[in-house]
Structure 1
């Protein structure tokens, strides 16, 4: 039977908050230990023309797999190699242009030490993470990064928790520092994340436009009356809920929405139909350039609460309208 008492829940939340604070403190302390060895590691990884081979055992191995994935997705080719499998043939996956990145909090994991010794004999640069620069693993490394002697967040100081959090944070920091050094761009990121939510957010807005000029978007001049622009708009099937206003050169100067019309009719009645739209439109509306990304559109919607966003080319000529419902249907934002 479900326990509906609030006191145990409060105790659990307090305990969880303490755990998270302990882990964040471990990360903070580890950040104070960054030195010239970290700089060397960034230099070596960013200049690596092969792969970064990440290895570790147990929880450190799981952290290593995640760091390897981060490296790969941010411009640094990487793969994970289990040290035991390395001793049974996987050493053949290591090339002379590779860099090794070995993780062991204690720095005494025998399988990893055996792997480090072999890699060192083969002149493979070794970067490591352990709790101390005096650990056995550190002594086998070219750049020994450390997170310090951490007390685990586990009440019994047994389950790897704070230590793994610090190792992951340090590994991520190294991966992103290398990515920055390699001048990894948004375009590069998109190439590696063509699918899923990340891929959608990095698409140009021009690729998700449902309402396009010349197809189902109405354009009007500022000197036209509301009645005139509505009559023209009615000829467009399945049009958007807005009309784009352009100057004599055809460049965007304003937007007039169905919502604007409803509010004006409620306030002024039918006489509004004879007023010119340049007196009623939103002048110089917030807009996107066709090369902007979907993530930019999401930011605009969240910051300005707009339902229709004009999209123009680099010269200011309208190419379409991005409707907020297009983002909702893609599950990029919630309505």
Structure 2
């Protein structure tokens, strides 16, 4: 009999590839076998007046926390309740306006018993996520989200690996389906992510632009002396040119150089670049930055649907906000 200690070790990269392949295969299997109750769960969550309460223990608890956080950040009020703490007073966090999602791979987790009993007593909708269809939890639930039969990636088949990956992906699927059901948009997303780079990228042009008297504007018939004073006093190196209140063009440093020979004898409209690139106030700041980069410009006038200018956004404003 060979000595196990003499068995050659596989390269770690080979082990990683096997685990990832095995879990990817399980996800593909799951994608082709979405639980029949999934649509009903999404519809029920979308209509309830309360929150989604997620509970579990151990690795299932860790996954449950992430699912609750993802739901909350994508417009579905959600909260994680630890199964053990629920038995010591936290059941009060679960109300009749809520819906519960309980996670247990075996479906026999004893610590979930009090939460199950609480939902049955107060007719709170119960969603079970488990890999055992005939388990106690699945029998007690109103909705059953069954995980497909896929072996754990652990060499002994014991450590929660594939099963937790499947549960996590199922939570993502629920969150995204609910986003679509609620027509959840980028502007809604920013409400729950105001900080950091993501919050900056989800800012709108209206939130970062200069408005009111800060916007450099002159009439299309204004003499260039007036246009130069406007450009200098506002400090953006440009001025908008308006006709009947609508932005007709803009004057930049480049326009001044191109018309130097006859500059002071001209009207603003004769020097301006007509029909300039503009953006609406509702455009995302990240989109405005991409437009600036593509056109190699540093300022954009912000106009309403009728063409009336309401602001100006500068490249430096976007960089200071952390959009880049």
TM-score w.r.t. the length of structure 1 is 0.78
C-alpha contact 1:218 1:232 (8 A) present in aligned 2: no
The residue aligned with 1:217 is 216
The reply on whether 1:160 has 2:160 as its aligned counterpart is yes
* Structure 1 residues 291 and 118: alpha-carbon distance in aligned structure 2, compared to 1, 3 A threshold: closer
Give SS of 2:37's match: helix
2:307 to 316, 319, 328: 316
Give SS of 2:60's match: helix
C-alpha contact 2:64 2:80 (8 A) present in aligned 1: yes
The residue aligned with 2:173 is 173
C-alpha contact 2:152 2:163 (8 A) present in aligned 1: yes
Deviation per residue, 1:136-180 (Å, 9 max, x gap): 322221111123123344555444333322211211221232343
The residue aligned with 1:6 is none
* Structure 1 residues 224 and 50: alpha-carbon distance in aligned structure 2, compared to 1, 3 A threshold: closer
Give SS of 1:240's match: coil
C-alpha contact 2:147 2:166 (8 A) present in aligned 1: yes
Number of aligned residue pairs:
313
Quote the Cα distance in structure 2 between the aligned partners of 1:245 and 1:315.
15
C-alpha contact 2:201 2:322 (8 A) present in aligned 1: no
The residue aligned with 2:8 is none
The residue aligned with 1:83 is 83
Quote the Cα distance in structure 2 between the aligned partners of 1:301 and 1:24.
40
The residue aligned with 1:108 is 108
* Structure 1 residues 183 and 207: alpha-carbon distance in aligned structure 2, compared to 1, 3 A threshold: closer
User: 1:215 offset after TM fit, Å?
Assistant: 2.6
* Structure 1 residues 200 and 33: alpha-carbon distance in aligned structure 2, compared to 1, 3 A threshold: same
Give SS of 1:214's match: helix
C-alpha contact 2:238 2:250 (8 A) present in aligned 1: yes
User: 1:190 offset after TM fit, Å?
Assistant: 4.1
How big is the alpha-carbon RMSD for the aligned residues of Structure 1 and Structure 2?
3.3
2:320 to 319, 324, 329: 329
Q: Superposition pairs for residues 55-70 of structure 1, below 5 Å?
A: 55-70=55-70
The residue aligned with 1:254 is 249
The residue aligned with 1:74 is 74
C-alpha contact 1:48 1:97 (8 A) present in aligned 2: yes
TM-score w.r.t. the length of structure 2 is 0.80
- Identify which range, 61-70 or 228-237, moves more after superposition: 228-237
2:233 to 231, 236, 247: 236
* Structure 1 residues 21 and 78: alpha-carbon distance in aligned structure 2, compared to 1, 3 A threshold: same
C-alpha contact 1:26 1:166 (8 A) present in aligned 2: yes
C-alpha contact 1:26 1:162 (8 A) present in aligned 2: yes
C-alpha contact 1:132 1:148 (8 A) present in aligned 2: no
Quote the Cα distance in structure 1 between the aligned partners of 2:147 and 2:271.
62
* Structure 1 residues 319 and 96: alpha-carbon distance in aligned structure 2, compared to 1, 3 A threshold: closer
Give SS of 2:236's match: coil
The residue aligned with 1:8 is none
Quote the Cα distance in structure 2 between the aligned partners of 1:55 and 1:318.
52
Deviation per residue, 1:100-138 (Å, 9 max, x gap): 101122333222255324433443211121224333322
The residue aligned with 2:5 is none
Q: Superposition pairs for residues 1-335 of structure 1, below 5 Å?
A: 16=16, 19-113=19-113, 115-154=115-154, 157-210=157-210, 212=211, 214-215=213-214, 217-219=216-218, 221=220, 228=225, 231-233=228-230, 235-237=232-234, 239-246=235-242, 248-258=243-253, 264=258, 270-271=260-261, 273=263, 282-301=273-292, 304-333=295-324
* Structure 1 residues 204 and 165: alpha-carbon distance in aligned structure 2, compared to 1, 3 A threshold: same
